[in-house]
A and B are shown apart, each in its own frame.
Chain A
Amino acid sequence: MSPAQSTLLAAGEASQHRPLIITLFAVFVAATLVITVWAGRQTKDAADFYAGGRQFTAFQNGLAVSGDYMSAASFLGIAGAIALFGYDGFLYSIGFLVAWLVALLLVAEPLRNSGRYTMGDVLAYRMRQRPVRTAAGTSTIVVSIFYLLAQMAGAGVLVSLLLGITSDAGKIGIVALVGVLMIVYVTIGGMKGTTWVQMVKAVLLIAGALLLTFLVLLKFHFNVSDLLGKAADNSGKGSPFLQPGLKYGATGTTKLDFLSLGLALVLGTAGLPHILIRFYTVPTAKAARKSVNWAIGLIGAFYLMTLALGFGAAALIKPDEIIASNKSGNTAAPLLALHLGGVDSDWGAILLASISAVAFATILAVVAGLTLASSSSFAHDIYANVIKKGTATDKEEVRAARWASVGIGAVSIVLGALARDLNVAGLVALAFAVAASANLPTILYSLFWKRFTTSGALWSIYGGLVTAVGLVLFSPVVSGKETSMFPHVDFHWFPLENPGIISIPVGFLLGVVGTLLSKERPDAAKYAELEVRSLTGTGAH
């Protein structure tokens, strides 16, 4: 997403709609700041800051989970990928959705029952605290920073595009604004504020998608087959547009890459720290289960709507116009809004502005969730349990979390500004791969494998992490291709963009190898405690 590719909206349409778009952005920001200050006043102890006081209802948390999960990548990215590549764009949504079953069946309830504030609580439960907390904190921060960086850089590109800002200073300004807002949400509002922001965003996003879906279907008299036929014709690609293969079917390597991506998507979700900590915001494991069910319903319905948006954009807008606006198709949804309302009409302008504001809200809510997850893990896992060895008071811990979010926010602003012209969209898939390779194996072994030990956990977390990050470093995501982060150098030797197909089995395998090779005996009493607590909720916080 370089500036050269993103001129269309910028040049003509965006600047003309700018006042309206800015007004809607400002309204959203003002509303969320009011919520944040209100939530901040209600935030008194550590359980409030980290877990929103554990008093959200299953439906509220289900909405917030959806708000946390449906990033700009899924709203704009999937709609755009469908608009340009047809069916292959839809493949993402399926992996993103099916993945929730892993969280539902194996992770959400045991985590809620046995942990307090972070993923590290469960990973370190029966292990030696300091090394495992350090590993869990490291992997949480790495996953979150990759994810955050992709969102921040994406926000810079997207928002400047929607507002018609082309200067470097303008883009850096937007990255900084997003960064400052997310720091404010997290430091002042904690989990309560962040959860409300995510709920508001989820409602706006679903309402926006519903409206566009309705308008698209109305145009085609609710005949889905006609919509698909028109999309295939207008795309210039004919019936292959409606089949898998346009994006991933080119060669044996791209097919393998798709398999690798599919694995990372389906196994990554249940290892994403910012998703996992959401389960602590409800009072019981049963409520955690219900919130996952709400999330599955809402996210599933939303992805079905992105089908209508993507194919609608393909049917109603010339592919050249979509590509001219943004090469990856990321502005297909806003463009669709403009076309549905009428390019030169007020109604078109209002729709475009509303969908742009929804996209902005989406980015803000997701970055806030990521900042909260990483600063919580820093404060609770690393500061309180490793550095202070468990002697920190609640107050000191929360203060550390607030400062950590300022630090993480500042780092993300700098990295996001530096990466503003790099193609960092691949980092989201990488975050999923790291989560699936480093976090999920340890979560599952900890909960379900009696024999698992501290060395197994360390081998699995660090081994999965290093393998996933290492392979990406030497993949075409980073160098060697026109679409790479650094297109002008080439040090890639790993052919796939997604490391999952190697790094996920490695993560699982190293957990077993590390356990079997060490002489350490598992702590049977601690496992008894974890197992009974995780399944029954005895002594749950």
Chain B
Amino acid sequence: MLDIVNISVVFHPSTPNEKHALNSVSLHLDEGDFVTVIGGNGAGKSTLLNTVAGTVRATEGKIAIDGSDVTRKPDFKRAGDVSRVFQDPMKGTAGDMNIEENLALAMSRGKRRTLRWNVTSKEAQQFKEMLSELHLGLEDRLNCKVGLLSGGQRQALTLLMATMNKPKLLLLDEHTAALDPKTADKVLKMTEDITSRNNQTTLMVTHNMRDALRYGNRLIMMNDGKIIFHASGEEKKKLTVQDLLNKFTSIGQENDRILLA
């Protein structure tokens, strides 16, 4: 499904600020894999996701989705296969546009935009049904500006937009980190429902170790631009937060231990 082969990313090359954000990272995802990504600040988690999404160009290596090489494709050309939910709830939706317009834009993700009316009445009905399944009370507010919604509602809407036409790959970049704990749980529950129902191949970055253990069938830990630990299936199920903290200590990430505990 997704093949990341020896990807390296260097920011500000040949300057005093040169930074190797990713160091020859390789990762393979099968269809339906749900991989959680953990690691300290600056470990390269977000860069990994951004490189897959296409917002960051790989300096070296190759990225293939379903066997076709996308390494040189810009982000908007990958959007048909790859959808994203950002950390910032404001980033995933257009605040000046209403709910149905946002959903319609997501509906034609990766397709040609024509002079067809953006939201037909048939689609509005469809959106209404999709929204009522989320139990957010948004199904009667299709004409409401997204900017008037709460952060949690916006993030839930972004998640729906990212998954409604079943992308090949879903990228979640700490998508609950900016929400209060209760809302974060709700959005994570929604994430789990949607991904398991659609057998959705997913990469999820999180700062929360419990979430990293609870969700997904695989886990990777990153440090200094490399994947330093990988667990899947039964091995992952047996892992505890303490195990992960010990791993962090063993690589000398004491500061992050405090952050993550």
Task: Please indicate whether A and B come from the same complex rather than being unrelated chains.
Answer: no
Interface residues of A (CB under 8 A from B): none
Interface residues of B (CB under 8 A from A): none
